[in-house]
Amino acid sequence: MQDRRAYAGGPEIACHSALPIRAPIRERHHVSKRRAARPAPKASPPARRPPRFWVAAASAATLVIAALIFVAAIALSAFAPPAPTAPAGSLFSGPVAQATRASWTDVSADQLAAMLEQHDFTLLNVKTPYIGEIAGTDLYIPYDQLAGRTSELPIDKNAKIVVYCRSGAESAMAVQTLLGLGYTNVYNLDGGMNAWVASGRQLVTKDRTGS
């Protein structure tokens, strides 16, 4: 209808009819508004950290538990029974090693030399192979033959027996064997013949081929 008036009304109306149509512009304007109205995607919230109070509380609890364990260990050690020692007034002052059913006492070279002045015990050399012995040795039985040669040992299970080897390793095993056989008064030369020689004393050699 507007176009027909433009052709019939002359140039002025035709001039008005030549104006650009604004409907599409308004449509684009509405579309841009709709696009602008869309909300932006929400960013994910940052990871929540535990409050500092709980972190500090956890650290304090760990320290308290460690302190309690430490105190308990000290308390247990305080109530532990003392290690057995040699009887008062004896020549032996070394520590007593624990065994299954009994115990033995370690003696030094000087203590053994003092004992040999009375020699009221059996001095047993268990070193294998034979390399010599301390003067005054009563028996030579290799440590690994003790269990099979019990007839050569003292009959009295309470008899005093002093055992030695070269360094103390084999005599320690011999002591365990003697304790297992029921002997209750067993001593071990600490350091063996090496300690005896280091103290300035000599070894002797005997014919032990039949032993």
Rounded mean pLDDT for each run of 10 residues along the chain, 211 residues in total: 48 49 52 54 60 69 82 69 46 43 84 95 96 96 94 95 96 95 95 96 88 65
25 and 103 belong to one structural domain: no
Claim to verify: residue 100 and residue 190 sit in the same structural domain: yes
Same domain as 29, residue 107: no
- Lateral strand order in the sheet of 103-107: 96-98, 103-107, 186-189, 161-164, 122-125, 139-140
For residue 182, the model assigns a pLDDT of 93
Choose among 150, 160, 153, 129: nearest CA to 139. 153
153 lies in some domain: yes
Residue 191 sits in a domain whose CATH number is 3.40.250.10
Residues 190 and 119 in one domain: yes
Beta strands in the chain (DSSP E): 96-98, 103-107, 122-125, 139-140, 161-164, 186-189
CA-angle at 137, arms to 157 and 210, nearest 5°: 95
- Looking at the structure, tell me whether residues 113 and 25 fall in a common domain: no
- Does the residue 110 lie in any domain? yes
**C-alpha–C-alpha distance, residues 15 and 91, integer Å:** 140
The answer to whether the pTM exceeds 0.75 is no
- Mark whether 100 and 32 lie in a shared domain: no
Decide if 74 is inside a domain.
no
Give a yes or no: residue 61 inside a domain: no
Q: Is residue 108 part of a domain?
A: yes
Domain that holds residue 125: 96-198
> Both 28 and 102 in a single domain?
no
Q: Are residues 111 and 23 in the same domain?
A: no
Kindly state whether residue 32 falls inside one of the protein's structural domains.
yes
Does a structural domain hold residue 169? yes
Total domains in the chain come to 2
> Helix, strand or coil for residue 204?
strand
Residue 173 inside a domain? The answer is yes
